[in-house]
Amino acid sequence: MLASRIMIVEDEGIIAMDIRRQLEGFGYEVVATAFSGGQAITLANEYKPDLVMMDIVLKGEMDGISAAHAITESLHIPVIFLTAYSDPATLLRAKATGAYGYLIKPFRPDELHASIEVALYKYQLERKLKESEQWFGKTLHCISDAVIATDAEGFIRFMNPVAETITEHSLEQAKGKRVSELMTLIAESSRSVIENPVLSTLQSRTVTGIDCPTLFVSQSGVEIPVDDGAAPILDDDGTLLGAVMVFRDITARRQMEHLLRESEERFHSSFELAAIGMALIALDGSFLQVNNALCEILGYTRDELLGSNLRMFTHADHHDDVINHYLRQLVTDLLPTFQIEVECFHKVVGKTIWTMMSASLVRTAGGDPQYFIVQIQNISNRKYAEQQLIYLANHDPLTGLLNRDQFHNRLTQALSTGQRHNRKLAVMYLDLDRFKLINDTLGHRLGDLLLQAVSDRLRASVRSNDILARLGGDEFIVLLSDINQIDDVARIAQKTLDILTQPFTLEGNDLVVTASIGISIHPDDGKDSHSLLMNADTAMYLAKDRGKNNFQFYTLEMTEKSIERMKVERGLRHALAHDELRLHYQPQVCTDSGVVVSAEALVRWQHPEWGLVYPDRFITVAEETGLIVPIGAWVLREACLQAKTWIENDGPFGGVAVNVSARQFLDTNLFQTVKRTLAETGLNPSALELEITESAIMQDPENTLQVLHQFQGLGVRLSIDDFGTGYSSLTYLRRFPIQSVKIDRSFVIDLPGDEGSKTLVRAITALAHELKLSVIVEGVETKDQLSFLTEQKCDSLQGYMFSRPVSAEQFQQDFINSGFKTYLPNTSNDQP
């Protein structure tokens, strides 16, 4: 332990040395010796000793008491006076300086030692007390609560600055006053005066608080909400020393509570009255609170919902998504909030509603998840409208089948899947035969009904993983995925055709429709959706070409054919407008006389680049595109004009035969066209023979019959072309107002060697004659054929044996100008 440091102030050098010696003998360190008051102050400042031994009587102006006063005041160093004088006046002055000891000279060493130790101890004690007081004082000054301490009688002894501010009194003003003089407390609700808790505490010696909300009324009349209480101050032996009251201005807290209450009320009323469903949901998904709107949305009562779990109302598909995934993201703070569409169950069994669910998480002040606030809006109407829009965008409104765009999408998807798994797909392009006729004759309404009925049948016939679409008009498309073998596709196509040929009964009409189907196979016939569709379409045209009501697969050469078809179509339009069509005539010879009695007009196309084009290259295209109607009208007029001039030559030549195709028969103006042409050209109607193929007649026998009767009334001759190739019913043959049948070339070609052909020609001739019809045979090329047909008494003959079809000039020259005699096959340039 360090020795205490002492300074000696003594003007007598010997005494000073003696004291120094004694002090050092006690183990103290003498840091300085001063001989005057002024020097004492200077050295005390310099050395800051722990204690000063001060002689009162000093030489010079300043005595020891004054010097001690200065040192104590400025440096707080304890001083022990040393003096030979002990008169009361001096003692009083010395005491006033707060001296720590007083030694009368001469003193004994033990007196000196004891005085020093007592002084140092007292000084230490006082210093600690002072520090402690300062600490408490500062604490009371710093705390935000108001503190008032009274003595046991209730007189104020202490107030901290906060109490001074609230009571509007300084400590000095308040000291000695009763606490009730400074503070008036009233109950907030009743406004009656409340006894100050200090008084109760002094009486009861226990802690006292005020239960009700209290207002402090200040001297100036300001009312401050306070929270207060008092506690007794007891000393160690339990004696009551006073009371301490602690109170605080709770205006801010009140305002906060008020705001909180208001905000809670606002929340509750907006929660209850909200137009959208709202719920507070526990972390496990159970409803804690629900509003009316939610009850209405889900169809349950409040009681039914409370205690139930959100999961019970959400559609199973959404459980994982909504409840587990998104709510977990809120809890783990990955999302602040979320909004998703959820399908919910309604109380009505089987009814579901679409909702927009938004949720956020409420946490405690400590950040722990507490509950979810969930908003649920019924968006069923919007959702259904959206679904409707999507449906309309992807479906054909008439049949409900997928539309073209959607089919493309599905096909593209199927192709990529097919490519991945190396599987074949088939695209079936289906077009109804003669649909336009039904539409035109029976009306669009029935046409629509038929399309719906057809789509129903198709729907029933395809497998669940096949895709069916309507491309528009009477065109349907089926995508067959997962094809094992091509034969399966053929079987499905045939089945589809069979299903369609069953009659449809629509509004009392029995309708029989057939279809033509074109099929392309992926990847053989195309790798992408566009080429597959195009090639199936091409194949469909082939099916049409091959008599309709059949299916055809796409082959590579068909691409060329379709390109050719497009070129021909474009060229034909040009040909009509630029007079490129020509008529050639082939003589028809009377079997008995061998003279030319008539001619068949056959159209040719004098193409500027292709040369002379024969009908087999363009008639089908003309029929498909409808161009056959204007071409037919041109042929008719040209043939009538020509026939009229040849008839006027006054010979056996009696008329001209003109081909009328099935498509022309569908044209409602055909009869008027023929009638007008005859009138305009002046040709006798009986000099005109219309050749109608057997298959054309059989497409719609009832309608044909009507038109044929009109022609009969006009006096025009009618003939069935290509007879024997179709399936004419004998009943019809009898009913048709025809004059002749033309036996097809295919039955002549193997005559007379082939027994079958002979039998057929014999039978047709006999039958026709039986029905009083004349028989003309085409394709006669050889003498043997001629003699067989002559034997059979066929009425007239046509064929290369007599002449190829030739130009009008050639015909004029060969037959008209030459007495109508027939010739053996000529060498005209008309080479089919």
Question: Which positions touch ligand C2E (CB under 6 A)?
Answer: 586, 602-603, 614-616, 619, 628, 632, 635, 659-661, 691, 721-722, 745, 778-781, 798-800, 805, 832
d(CA 23, CA 699): 151
Q: What stretch of H or E contains 355? A: strand 352-363
3-class SS at 4?
coil
Q: Which is nearer to ligand C2E, 446 or 641 (CB)?
A: 641
Q: In which element (H, E) is residue 96 found?
A: helix 88-96
What's the closest the beta carbon of residue 769 comes to ligand C2E, in angstroms?
22
Using a 10 angstrom Cβ sphere, with 0-12 exposed, 13-18 middle and 19 or more buried, the burial of residue 755 is: exposed
Judged by DSSP in three states, 671 sits in: helix
Which residues are bridge partners to 607 per DSSP? 611
Sequence-distant (≥ 6) Cβ neighbours of residue 103 within 8 angstroms: 80, 81, 82, 83, 111, 112, 115
At 806, is the secondary structure helix, strand, or coil?
A: strand
Here the tokens at position 766 are 């006999």
Residue 425 C-beta: closest distance to ligand C2E, Å: 39
For residue 761, how many C-alpha atoms fall within 13 Å in the half-sphere facing its CB?
Answer: 32
Instruction: Specify the residue, 504 or 723, whose C-beta has the smaller distance to ligand C2E.
Output: 723
The residue among 319 and 758 lying less far from ligand C2E, judged by its C-beta, is: 758
3-state secondary structure of 425: strand
DSSP result, 304-323: HHTTSBGGGTB-GGGIIIII
Dist CA 707 CA 694 (whole Å):
15
* β-pairing verdict for 240-249 and 504-506: unpaired
Burial class (CB in 10 A: 0-12, 13-18, 19+), 389: exposed
Please state the closest distance from residue 832 (CB atom) to ligand C2E, in A: 5
Of 685, 587, 673, nearest to 637 by C-alpha is 673
Q: Is 710 helix (H, G, I), strand (E, B) or coil?
A: helix
Residue with tokens 């006389």: 593
Report the sign of the C-alpha dihedral through residues 464, 469, 475, 481, in that order: negative
Least separation in angstroms between CB 641 and ligand C2E: 14
Query: Of 147 and 629, which has the nearer Cβ to ligand C2E?
Result: 629
Distances (CA, A) of 327 to 311, 313, 360, 361, 672: 12, 16, 8, 8, 79
Minimum distance from residue 651 beta carbon to ligand C2E (Å): 22
Torsion angle of C-alpha atoms 829, 641, 600, 609, degrees rounded to 10: 40
Minimum distance from residue 745 beta carbon to ligand C2E (Å)? 6
Q: Residue 324, SS3?
A: helix
Rounded to a whole number of angstroms, the minimum distance from the CB of residue 559 to ligand C2E is 25
Q: Which is nearer to ligand C2E, 78 or 805 (CB)?
A: 805
Q: How far is the CB of 393 from ligand C2E (least distance, A)?
A: 44
- Residue with Cβ nearer ligand C2E (370 or 746): 746
* First vs last C-alpha separation in the chain: 144
The DSSP secondary-structure symbol of 409 reads H
Instruction: Give the helix/strand (H/E) hosting 6.
Output: strand 5-9
Nearer to ligand C2E, 50 or 778 (CB): 778
Residue in this structure with the two tokens 């009618």, named with its chain if needed: 718
CA dist 795 and 740 (Å) reads 9
CB of 752 to ligand C2E, least distance (A): 15
Closest approach of ligand C2E to the CB of residue 589, in Å: 11
Token pair for residue 631? 């071409």
Q: Which C-beta is closer to ligand C2E: that of 146 or that of 568?
A: 568
Which is closer to ligand C2E, CB of 37 or CB of 799?
799
22 or 703: whose CB is closer to ligand C2E? 703
Nearer to ligand C2E, 107 or 614 (CB): 614
Query: Residue 818 — φ and ψ, nearest 5°?
Result: -115, 25
Query: Considering the complex, what minimum distance in angstroms separates the CB of residue 506 from ligand C2E?
Result: 32
User: 3-class SS at 446?
Assistant: helix
User: To the nearest whole angstrom, how small is the minimum distance from the Cβ of residue 800 to ligand C2E?
Assistant: 4
Our CB check for ligand C2E shows the closer of 526 and 805 to be 805
Min dist CB 696 to ligand C2E, Å, is 9
Pick the closer one to ligand C2E by CB: 100 or 802.
Answer: 802
CB 323 within 8 A of CB 350: no
Question: Closest separation between CB of residue 762 and ligand C2E, Å?
Answer: 20
Q: Among residues 196 and 591, whose Cβ is nearest to ligand C2E?
A: 591
Residue 304 or residue 781: which is nearer to ligand C2E going by CB? 781
Separation between Cα atoms, residue 429 and residue 409, nearest integer Å: 16
Under a CB-based contact definition with an 8 Å cutoff, are residues 150 and 156 in contact?
Answer: yes
Cβ 802 to ligand C2E shortest distance, Å? 8
Tell the smallest beta-carbon distance from residue 623 to ligand C2E (Å): 8
Least Å distance between CB 746 and ligand C2E? 10
Pairing label, strands 717-723, 740-743: parallel
Q: If DSSP states are collapsed to H, E and C, what string results for 733-747?
A: HHHCCCCEEEECHHH
Q: If you compute the radius of gyration of the chain from its CA atoms, what whole number of angstroms results?
A: 64
Give me the helix-helix angle, 701-714 and 670-681, nearest 10°: 20
State the SS3 of 544-582: HHCCCCCEEECCHHHHHHHHHHHHHHHHHHHHHHCCCEE
Report how far residue 372's alpha carbon sits from residue 356's, in angstroms, rounded to the nearest whole number. 16
CB of 657 to ligand C2E, least distance (A): 8
Is 535 or 798 the residue whose CB approaches ligand C2E more closely?
A: 798
In the bound state with ligand C2E, the residue whose beta carbon lies nearer, of 346 and 548, is 548
When the beta carbons of 158 and 747 are compared against ligand C2E, the nearer one is: 747
